[in-house]
Structure 1
Amino acid sequence: MFRWVTLTLTTTVGRGLRIWIRYGRRIRSTGTTLAPTWQAETAAALAAASIVFRSRDPAYSRLLLDRAVKVFEFADYHRGAYSASLHSAVCPFYCDVNGYQDELLWGAAWLHKASRRREYREYIVKNEVVLRAGDTINEFGWDNKHAGINVLISKEVLMGKADDLKSFQNNADGFICSLLPGIAHPQVQYSPGGLIFKAGGSNMQHVTSLSFLLLAYSNYLSHANHAVPCGEMSASPALLKRLAKRQVDYILGDNPLAMSYMVGYGARYPQRIHHRASSLPSLVTHPAHIGCKAGSRYFLSPDANPNVLVGAVVGGPNSSDAFPDSRPFFQESEPTTYINAPLVGLLAYFSAHP
């Protein structure tokens, strides 16, 4: 039975098209909406965080889990895509193209892992088909959680604890096979220099997120003493780990251009990234207002950005390993949080396991 709870979940959005046209200092607007996609994502994050703090701060861990449960209940009750009510603010750049269904499964999977409550396992089994768990199994990112769902749930199957969730392992195995070099797949390719490449913009988001899942599944397989059969090939834990590390090495400079795609790292890195705060003069050097169209001179300037955004990872090279290092080529030169976030996990692991 649904229980009403009082929660405040604030989301700040920028009006994408207006901001895109106006290359000036950032403007923001807020909107109030029922956004189950964001709420289910928040529930997943809170549940995951509760695991992190379970032994170090049990009281805080319980609080996080309690909030995760309530936020998930709200998201599940108010099903729908956030772009239905925020279309003018989030589209065309961040429309909820993939829908809300995968986020609900993602939230339930993390709640099951964090709470061990049977109700979430039953929710996953009951909604596997309704919420399209098997769709687009080789996608994982800000708008699509399918591959992550399958990998996360597969751990229990691999350890012999959840045979009723076997279909998720089958999906995860299919995802892994689709990423192996030498196996033809219509959606995943490799550049001549060895970089994972998927059609669409900001390719490095796919590189970091898919590599993170490769590493996670490698660890699950290792604990289960298992490998993934892929036709005539077999994907061992060691192979998956090497594939993930190869992508990290490419990002940090081991590539045909000998360029680090992390700003501020290495001898050579992108100088003209598509980022307003990095490319516009600071308030210290230019305290005056920059008008609506006045930012174009900085956008089109051939000069390097005056403010180095250390640590930011850009969209990266194209399928031929070429990189223009130019602000107008935003798909290659724009950094995003959803590129950096999975990379932090990869770097943390390989730093601890050189």
Structure 2
Amino acid sequence: MVHTKIADKNWTGIPTAPADDHETRFLYPPSTAATLNMVGVAAQCARIWRTIDPAFATKCLAAARRGWAAALRHPNLLTSSDFTGSGGYGDPDVRDEFTFAAAQLYATTNEAVFLDRLRKDGIFTDPGTDIGWGSLRLAGALTLATLGDTLPADDRAKLRTRITALADGFVAEGKRSGYGIPFGGTNYPWGSNSSILNRAIVLGVAWQIDRKPAYRDAVVSSLDYILGRNPLDRSYVTGIGTRPMQHPHHRFWAAAADKRYPAPPTGVLSGGPNSAAANELGPMKGCAPQTCWIDDYRAFTVNEVAINWNAPLVWTAAFLDATRGR
């Protein structure tokens, strides 16, 4: 099993360099979700590094198999969200983690036991609708949809049909948005930029399936919005664009709080507009959803940064670069 995390007892102030963090740190107990997250990533590792470093790939696959067996033995070790010194990340439902892990193991090994599990989980008829740290079903489905002939034809056809239907819905949402992004409505959640970019990943995979131009166009619109084509005329990525974000909520990239600390490097993504900020006191009170954002290191509800938010930015940028002129 894999421990959920190591985290401080209390939040540290800003700025704080890692070496200056004197808070008590706790090693939190193992959980099924953390174990299955490791399984999925280790299985991907085994696939990606197979020809680059075969010995390392073998080690990764062994870890994935061992973790899968452990999760089957302990399928209900759930995480709590009752923490004060870090994000809780409690997850009461680990079915999606099982599906994600099985998808990655099947993609790497092509073994029937994992395909049987995926069919039992119903992923080919219900691939999910969102990607997030607590919602991994769709992430597994996107991997399976790009496997080609290593997935049985009937399963592949059903899954691809549902993914392109999901992408069609996102394209339709873009037509209802003034900025053409695949995100309709007025509820912009915490980390809305990652929500938009995760949808762009779905659209990119849908384009790989049938090359419909509207899918790639929607990915372009998503990145355009992130880089400045938005109501605030601001790029949400440090160092990119005419008016980029400069002051993220970060304990070390904290030059705005203390000039002895460094400014953020280029390429850091802000969480972006959060419509709940309209209820806060201060400059965002009463803001329209897409404008509920401020470039202030203290504004953690809108200007926090996170690796799982930056990941889809890298994916979409790489996708558009690889598909230029196609």
Give TM-score, length-normalised by structure 1: 0.73
The partner residue of 1:13 within 6, 10, 14 is 6
**1:218-245 deviation per Cα after TM superposition (whole angstroms, max 9, x unaligned):** 21334xxxxxxxxxxxxx2x21111112
C-alpha distance in structure 2 between counterparts of 1:335 and 1:252, whole Å: 15
- Measured at CA, do residues 160 and 108 of structure 1 come closer, stay the same or move farther in structure 2, by a change above 3 Å? closer
The partner residue of 1:50 within 38, 46, 50 is 46
AA aligned opposite 1:216: V
Contact 2:144 2:151 in 1 (8 A): no
C-alpha distance in structure 1 between counterparts of 2:38 and 2:228, whole Å: 34
Contact 2:191 2:302 in 1 (8 A): yes
1:88 aligned onto 2:86: no
C-alpha distance in structure 2 between counterparts of 1:100 and 1:327, whole Å: 34
Contact 2:231 2:290 in 1 (8 A): no
Which stretch of the first structure deviates more once superposed, 105-114 or 119-128? 119-128
**1:69-100 deviation per Cα after TM superposition (whole angstroms, max 9, x unaligned):** 1112212321125424x633688652225x21
1:352 maps to what in 2?
A: 322
1:78 maps to what in 2?
A: 74
1:308 maps to what in 2?
A: 264
2:116 counterpart SS class: helix
C-alpha distance in structure 1 between counterparts of 2:158 and 2:317, whole Å: 31
1:177 maps to what in 2?
A: 168
Number of aligned residues: 302
Deviation at 1:344, TM superposition (A): 1.2
Q: Once the two structures are aligned, what percentage of the paired residues are identical?
A: 20
1:194 aligned onto 2:180: yes
Contact 2:174 2:181 in 1 (8 A): no
- Measured at CA, do residues 258 and 32 of structure 1 come closer, stay the same or move farther in structure 2, by a change above 3 Å? closer
1:34 maps to what in 2?
A: 30
C-alpha distance in structure 2 between counterparts of 1:273 and 1:50, whole Å: 35
- Measured at CA, do residues 81 and 144 of structure 1 come closer, stay the same or move farther in structure 2, by a change above 3 Å? farther
1:276 counterpart SS class: coil
Contact 2:245 2:295 in 1 (8 A): yes
1:141 maps to what in 2?
A: 132
Contact 1:140 1:146 in 2 (8 A): yes
Contact 1:263 1:308 in 2 (8 A): yes
C-alpha distance in structure 2 between counterparts of 1:175 and 1:31, whole Å: 39
AA aligned opposite 1:12: K
The partner residue of 1:219 within 199, 208, 222 is 208
Deviation at 1:133, TM superposition (A): 7.9
1:210 maps to what in 2?
A: 199
Matches within 5 A, 1:92-131: 93-96=88-91, 99-128=93-122
Deviation at 1:101, TM superposition (A): 0.9
C-alpha distance in structure 1 between counterparts of 2:154 and 2:119, whole Å: 11
C-alpha distance in structure 2 between counterparts of 1:334 and 1:92, whole Å: 12
2:79 counterpart SS class: helix
Contact 2:4 2:79 in 1 (8 A): no
C-alpha distance in structure 2 between counterparts of 1:324 and 1:307, whole Å: 17
Deviation at 1:201, TM superposition (A): 0.9
2:286 maps to what in 1?
A: none
AA aligned opposite 1:67: A
C-alpha distance in structure 2 between counterparts of 1:148 and 1:196, whole Å: 18
- Measured at CA, do residues 128 and 211 of structure 1 come closer, stay the same or move farther in structure 2, by a change above 3 Å? same
**Where do 5+ consecutive residues of structure 1 fail to align?**
1-6, 223-235, 287-305
C-alpha distance in structure 2 between counterparts of 1:214 and 1:348, whole Å: 14
Contact 1:157 1:163 in 2 (8 A): no
2:290 maps to what in 1?
A: 320
- Measured at CA, do residues 219 and 79 of structure 1 come closer, stay the same or move farther in structure 2, by a change above 3 Å? same
Measured on the aligned residues, the alpha-carbon RMSD in Å equals: 3.4
1:277 maps to what in 2?
A: 252
C-alpha distance in structure 2 between counterparts of 1:102 and 1:171, whole Å: 17
1:201 counterpart SS class: coil
- Measured at CA, do residues 48 and 284 of structure 1 come closer, stay the same or move farther in structure 2, by a change above 3 Å? same
2:229 counterpart SS class: coil
C-alpha distance in structure 1 between counterparts of 2:125 and 2:25, whole Å: 34
**Where do 5+ consecutive residues of structure 2 fail to align?**
275-288
C-alpha distance in structure 2 between counterparts of 1:316 and 1:240, whole Å: 23
